[in-house]
Structure 1
Amino acid sequence: MKFTFYKYEGTGNDFIFIDNRQNNFPKTDVKRIEKLCDRRFGIGADGLILLENDNETDFKMVYYNSDGNQSSMCGNGGRCIVAFAKRLNLISDQATFLATDGLHKAFVFEDGIISLGMKDVDEVKIESDYVFLNTGSPHHVMMVDDLNNYDVKGIGAKIRYSDLYGKAGSNVNFVQQLLDNHFRLRTYERGVEDETFSCGTGATAAAIAMHAIGETSLSHIYLNVEGGKLEVSFEKVGGIYTNVFLKGPATFVFEGEIEW
């Protein structure tokens, strides 16, 4: 069986997209999905995303990490699937879709920028040297002084596999402040088991974490990631971070065909 695939990237976080509205993709073949994401023996990507039908929204997003396992929400993938849906003429300048963490809304701008509504965050765990929160995926956030020379993969893996988070693990984010509401971010992603050029739920987590611990009082945060720039905005109502939006580019790379 042959499948048409589409490659997209959002600030260097890259994904394979497949239109699965006919429900003919073998979703349980973990090894094959892992091979498709392999950068030497497959197409190469941080993850694979299926666009599927949904009765109450424009479409459904099903996300797989590059290890072939279905995973939690992916913010950059969410922005890219909106661009993919526009390419398929399913939407025009806005969308609603269903993901593993619930309903999302998004807006498409003329310059290829996608603004994606993220889930509310009602719990932020603040410890002496890190912050933990869930923005659709679990995130450990900590500040460092010299991000250029930091061992993101080594230290990130130790925290991800530590007893702190058990078997499920956590994504790990390292943040350095540049200006009051401007930060630099590097992320170790579980499922990829390496540093990625960008992580959308990680950028969202980092922005909220920096506000929660008082590193910024502003609610519009700019983040420099390895693959570009992202923006996160939010409102804090009581103890809840709501009206959270992740904004940045979602870029079509190429289209191809692969035999399964």
Structure 2
Amino acid sequence: MKFTKMQGIGNDYVYVDCTKTELKNASEVAIKVSDRHFGIGSDGLILIKKSDKADFYMEMYNADGSQGKMCGNGIRCVAKYVCDNKLTDKDEFSVETLSGIKILKVRKDDKGLVSLVKVDMGAPILEASEIPVDVNNLKNYSNREDKRVIDETIEVDGKQYKVTCVSMGNPHAIVYIDNTIDIKDFPLEEIGPKFECHPAFPEKVNTEFIQVVDNKNLNMRVWERGSGETLACGTGACASLVATNLNGLCDSNATLHLLGGDLNITWDKEENTIIMQGPATTVFTGEIEV
């Protein structure tokens, strides 16, 4: 199998061009190639396919073989792949995902290679049942009228946290960390799995731990369902901007500072759509027996 290893601010995936050939047992292949000791090493596998509804179709799998609906960093790398490998000559095109069709715009360097990608991520989903969140597993859920989960209380491993939930095609729980601690010292490996598998989240959940620096800058670490901690999560950054704005803690445009780098996120409230802008990088290409 020929592949390309790519990363978007440290969120790395193995990419395979399936526009002309088919890859069987993609879930098993994802587990094999993601292994950082015996495989290529990645947060998962992304297949680029033809689409009847858009210019391309993105099919993604997490490191544990589970299929994901959407990946913000992954889709930026898809844009770079299809442009750099001449699968399209467009600077603006569409990619179908399990969470809908996304519109991407690319910026190229003086060599004609993609250096920056802007993605219209669509509207955030806020209704609890659509995220989904089982509000019966929250403590004293207070927002039954408009059915959102904003600044609600959840008990995890005997401790109570305030949580805001947003879906960007995949479910996210946003939690705020005190600014008195270094976010790098936060015990994510211990707490992240307990959020991921909490009964409030019937499809498991990605959890973002946020520090508000000011109304234009947010620090973020993320525990992704099926992958564990990753250096970045594009949909998570979008969800975090929405959640933090809903809590009155930041503007509708801000920079998210993740361990792997920065993403600029804008919530266009007039159009009710989220715009994500960030880099995409090719690491290496190769071939592996699967």
1:81 to 75, 78, 81: 78
The residue number in structure 2 matching 1:106 is 104
1:118 to 113, 118, 121: 121
Percent same amino acid at aligned positions? Answer: 32
Structure 1, unaligned runs of 5 or more: none
The residue number in structure 1 matching 2:13 is 15
Determine the C-alpha separation between the residues in 2 that align with 1:156 and 1:79.
25
Determine the C-alpha separation between the residues in 2 that align with 1:95 and 1:88.
15
The residue number in structure 1 matching 2:139 is none
Cα shift at 1:87 = 1.7
Is residue 46 of structure 2 the alignment partner of residue 46 of structure 1? no
- How does 1:165-180 map onto structure 2 within 5 Å? 165-166=201-202, 168-180=203-215
Amino acid at match of 2:83: K
CA contact 2:124–2:239 (8 Å) conserved in 1: no
The residue number in structure 1 matching 2:3 is 5
The residue number in structure 1 matching 2:278 is 248
The residue number in structure 1 matching 2:132 is none
Determine the C-alpha separation between the residues in 2 that align with 1:154 and 1:134.
24
The residue number in structure 1 matching 2:52 is 55
SS at structure 2 position matched to 1:142: strand
Cα shift at 1:29 = 4.8
Cα shift at 1:23 = 3.9
Is residue 97 of structure 2 the alignment partner of residue 94 of structure 1? no
The residue number in structure 1 matching 2:190 is 154
Determine the C-alpha separation between the residues in 1 that align with 2:87 and 2:101.
17
Cα shift at 1:152 = 1.1
Determine the C-alpha separation between the residues in 2 that align with 1:109 and 1:29.
31
Is residue 149 of structure 2 the alignment partner of residue 139 of structure 1? no
SS at structure 1 position matched to 2:213: strand
Q: Deviations over 1:153-184 (max 9, x none)?
A: 21111111111113x21000000011211100
Q: Deviations over 1:179-221 (max 9, x none)?
A: 21110000000111x21100001000101101011002x2211
Cα shift at 1:94 = 1.5
Determine the C-alpha separation between the residues in 2 that align with 1:122 and 1:139.
10
SS at structure 2 position matched to 1:157: helix
Amino acid at match of 1:48: L
Cα shift at 1:122 = 4.1
Structure 2, unaligned runs of 5 or more: 110-114, 127-147, 153-161
Is residue 231 of structure 2 the alignment partner of residue 191 of structure 1? no
Give the total of aligned pairs. Answer: 251
Determine the C-alpha separation between the residues in 1 that align with 2:151 and 2:119.
29
Is residue 283 of structure 2 the alignment partner of residue 259 of structure 1? no
Is residue 267 of structure 2 the alignment partner of residue 234 of structure 1? yes
**If the length of structure 1 is used for normalisation, what is the TM-score?**
0.92
The residue number in structure 2 matching 1:224 is 257
> Which consecutive aligned stretches of 4+ in structure 1 deviate over 3 angstroms post-superposition?
none
Q: Deviations over 1:96-136 (max 9, x none)?
A: 11001011001101250111110211425213311001012
The residue number in structure 2 matching 1:202 is 236
Amino acid at match of 1:138: P
- Bigger Cα Rg: 2
The residue number in structure 2 matching 1:68 is 65
